[in-house]
A and B are shown apart, each in its own frame.
Chain A
Amino acid sequence: MIEAVVFAQAGTSPAGRLLVDFLSLGSIYALLAMGFVIIFKATQVLNFAHGALAALGAFLVASFATVLQVPGRWMPGAPLWLRWTLSVLAALALATIIGMVLERIVIRPMLGEELFAVAIVTLGLDIIIRTITNDFIGTQARPLGDPFGTNVWAIEGFTLIPWTIIAQVATTIVLVALVALFFRSRLGIAMRATAFDQEAARAQGIDVGRVFSISWGIGAFLAGVAGIFLSLFPRRAAGVDQSTAFFAFAAFPAIILGGLDSVVGAVVGGFAVGLAQALATEFLTGISFLGVGFAGVVPYLLMLAVLLIRPYGLFGSEEIRRV
């Protein structure tokens, strides 16, 4: 909520613009990174298919809200915002189920294999989901049909976009809820125990399969939310298109920055990368020797710099090795 208030002060001044950039990029990166980390912590899988899942989530919203009109078609009198919200929830529920099904079919058989092999499996998964989703998306961008339009509220000389505020609030709620789940709930403890040692967790009576399944469900859900935020005005005003899936690669620096297995690190890493990119966009564009598109590689450079100093990220747990 504090974010929203700060945001309302933002205008089109450089500082305001910076803030808008930082928060909107940061929240998307944080959501993506959180999804990565939750999947990694529970199942030790580096999920390269995350971007494809994000595009899939956004596409499901576009289909439910505009083409299929689910559940809107059964409630003709309801206001647009309610129909749309229900469509989003239905789409995200489906995305979650798809995530769980994928885990069951593709990831579970790889249990106990090398981490590298499982990561490559997700590369294959990425290709499959991306291709099929893109075939469904088709060649034109698919608008998400949200009720916000291009309305810009002008309050006391400042402009603000209603949708991005909602996105900020939603991100905050989701992230806080997940951190709470992870550190306070039974399920969270089970997940942490599984992450620590699968066999020991199983010996303690934890249903490891269920933990796997739920963590992939949460991961797909978070990817879907990030996909929605990415596909709305003003960021991708025309809607979800075939290039949406590529965005998630830019979130890799965020997870590495925070450490692959740190939930808090994911949030910090996400916002740090968002800040770095926003700052680079604002201040480094005029410097000619940096050339074109420098802001796009700032996250990777930041990641390299951090890894050289701390090879396991800022919050990641260090592997102990002795010779």
Chain B
Amino acid sequence: MRGRNRLWVLFVVFAMLAAACGGGGGDGAEETADTEPAAEETTPDTGGDISEDTTADTTDADEGGAPGDIATDVGVDLEAGVIRIGLLSDLSGPFSPLVQQIVTAHEVYWEDVNRNGGINGLQVELVIEDNAYDVPTHLQKYEEIRDEVAVIGHSTGSPHTVAALPAYQEDDILAVPLTWYSGWVDPQYNSNLMHHGAPYCIEIQNAISYISDDIGGASTIAIASVPGDFGLDGAAGAQIAAEALGLEVVYDGAGKVNPTDEASLTEVANGIAASGADIVVLVATPGAFASIYGQAVAQGFEAKWTGTSPSWSPAFVAPDSQIREAVARDVYITVPFDAWDGESEGAQRFTALMQELRPDNPPFDAYNEGYVEARIVHEALLRAYENGDMTRAGILAAAKSLDNVEFDGLAFPERYTGEPNDMVQRHSFVYRPDLESATGAVVVERDYMAPIVEDFVFEGACYELES
């Protein structure tokens, strides 16, 4: 018996060795989302084509036609007609519910661009890596795609993006951060990053302002959040809004929520329930949000609740959810982009595209975030092509010269020139949970900017990440 077991182990080891040899050969072959490799080089833009260039100011220079004039370095191969875009995505960590949909949206967006002729004939390939929401993994994965990609289509997570920023700067590579931290507009991070959407700090001000208008007579607020930029940036915004609106902060649990520590959830829930606040701001992961919400409601506590957009999950109002009716009654959500079934032209067009190319995928609002990110990269690449410089530095410079990127109403226009106070996004969509809606929530206010937000002078990140 023992001898046979040993043979097995030997067999496994030899299999591993064989795998090792095979692995060397497979090195460098990254996954690509390019499922339509047949390039129709000169297909003119059709009406429904999202790649239609509506915003980049055409300089009418003659560089357009011949790709030979264009400077390139990494990730753009003019001979093969390929541009590679890297995605550093959280596909298995805590924010994977959101990020997986966003990645799908990227794939759909570029598939559509590719079948309509690509970027002036260049086909876009995605190189997708899972950072597992872990800083070392993020850095390692960037290293693996470092010599392959022209642009980072999204970089998930704030500590991760900050940790990778020196490498981004070294490579002069453009990266779209997939987090809404208010620091991205700040000069210390702004060099390579393309912020978009109202940051947590401003989003929460919009939410509080909207709720207090909606219910009238609110005088107290409870604030709680997870630690880190995601929670504390939102909590800082809540403090600013409370002061501006004259709300009394009756419970401050900023940074006290730890999603993996049951006791901290109970502690915060008790604190919120005991405070008797009219408005609750809870910036946390969806699981922690549901747990704290449930435990507070179970004590007979009733108030209006909000959090930043990543705190929300459609699972709250799924048909079998225990808290669906209570959530529908209590919760408000502010989001940087339109809904899956939103009214805007951009949202309707992209949803139609999603249904065409991914007919089996369930509806989610978060696809639209993927659209926003891909759109920003698209505009930057078009501008770089016009400038005749598709080196990484050229793409970065082109992106940082964009002064109006529009999303056809799917999200609010972004600019990347001027002072931080001019660049920061102040508009939000306001959603309410809806038991009938396919995505669990509907837009109740399409373009909301609270008066306090309009007056808010942005001088730098609401919450400073320590170095």
CB–CB B287/A141 < 8 A: yes
CB–CB B263/A149 < 8 A: no
Among A98-106, A193-201, A229-237, the one that faces the other chain is A229-237
Contacts of B97 in A (CB 8 A): 139-140
Which of A143, A237, A243, A293 is the one whose CB lies under 8 Å from B256? A293
CB–CB A152/B263 < 8 A: no
CB–CB A238/B290 < 8 A: yes
In the bound complex, how far is the Cα of B315 from the Cα of A235, in angstroms?
16
Q: A139-B96, A233-B298, A285-B271 are in contact. Are A238 and B313 (CB under 8 A)?
A: yes
A21 within 8 A of B: yes
CB–CB A237/B263 < 8 A: no
CB–CB B323/A292 < 8 A: no
CB–CB B273/A246 < 8 A: no
> Which of B297, B298, B316 has most chain A Cβ within 10 Å?
B298
CB–CB A150/B287 < 8 A: no
Q: For the complex formed, measure the closest distance between the CB of B395 and the CB atoms of chain A, giving whole angstroms.
A: 32
Q: How large is the interface on A (under 10, 10 to 19, 20 to 34, 35 or more residues)?
A: 35 or more
Q: How large is the interface on B (under 10, 10 to 19, 20 to 34, 35 or more residues)?
A: 35 or more
Which of B258, B271, B291 is the one whose CB lies under 8 Å from A235? B291
In the bound complex, how far is the Cα of B287 from the Cα of A152, in angstroms?
22
Which of A146, A150, A292 is the one whose CB lies under 8 Å from B298? A150
CB–CB A296/B264 < 8 A: yes
In the bound complex, how far is the Cα of B320 from the Cα of A161, in angstroms?
18
Contacts of B227 in A (CB 8 A): 292
CB–CB A239/B315 < 8 A: yes
A136-159 vs B, CB cutoff 8 Å, 1 = contact: the mask equals 000111111110111010100001
In the bound complex, how far is the Cα of B442 from the Cα of A85, in angstroms?
34
- Using a Cβ cutoff of 8 Å, how many contacts connect chains A and B? 134
B261 within 8 A of A: yes
Q: For the complex formed, measure the closest distance between the CB of B12 and the CB atoms of chain A, giving whole angstroms.
A: 15
Contacts of A65 in B (CB 8 A): 320
CB–CB A243/B259 < 8 A: yes
B288-319 vs A, CB cutoff 8 Å, 1 = contact: the mask equals 00110111011111000000000001111010
A185 within 8 A of B: no
Q: Which residue of B lies closest to A295 (CB)?
A: B263
CB–CB B315/A143 < 8 A: yes
B255 within 8 A of A: yes
Contacts of A145 in B (CB 8 A): 320
Contacts of B323 in A (CB 8 A): 150, 233, 237-238
CB–CB A234/B262 < 8 A: no
Q: For the complex formed, measure the closest distance between the CB of B73 and the CB atoms of chain A, giving whole angstroms.
A: 37
Q: Which of A197-227 contact B (CB under 8 A)?
A: none
In the bound complex, how far is the Cα of B407 from the Cα of A221, in angstroms?
53
Which of A246, A250, A292 is the one whose CB lies under 8 Å from B255? A292
Q: For the complex formed, measure the closest distance between the CB of B98 and the CB atoms of chain A, giving whole angstroms.
A: 8
In the bound complex, how far is the Cα of B298 from the Cα of A154, in angstroms?
11
Q: For the complex formed, measure the closest distance between the CB of A147 and the CB atoms of chain B, giving whole angstroms.
A: 9
Contacts of B273 in A (CB 8 A): 12
Contacts of B261 in A (CB 8 A): 293, 296
CB–CB A295/B321 < 8 A: no
Q: Which residue of A lies closest to B256 (CB)?
A: A292
CB–CB B264/A293 < 8 A: yes
Contacts of B255 in A (CB 8 A): 292
In the bound complex, how far is the Cα of B324 from the Cα of A146, in angstroms?
13
In the bound complex, how far is the Cα of B315 from the Cα of A12, in angstroms?
28
Contacts of A243 in B (CB 8 A): 94, 259-260, 287
**18 additional contacts, CB 8 Å, given A238-B315, A293-B261?**
A12-B299, A21-B266, A141-B286, A143-B315, A149-B325, A150-B298, A150-B326, A236-B290, A237-B293, A238-B290, A238-B294, A238-B323, A241-B287, A292-B255, A292-B256, A295-B263, A295-B266, A295-B267
18 examples of A-B residue contacts, CB within 8 angstroms: A12-B300, A17-B299, A139-B100, A141-B286, A142-B315, A150-B325, A233-B322, A234-B269, A236-B287, A236-B294, A238-B294, A238-B316, A239-B321, A243-B287, A292-B258, A293-B261, A293-B264, A296-B261
Task: Spell out A's residues near B (CB within 8 Å).
Answer: 12, 17, 21, 25, 65-66, 139-146, 148-150, 152, 154, 159, 161, 232-239, 241-243, 246-247, 250, 277, 280-282, 285, 292-293, 295-296, 298
Nearest 6 A/B pairs, CB to CB: A237-B294, A238-B290, A139-B97, A234-B298, A295-B263, A296-B261
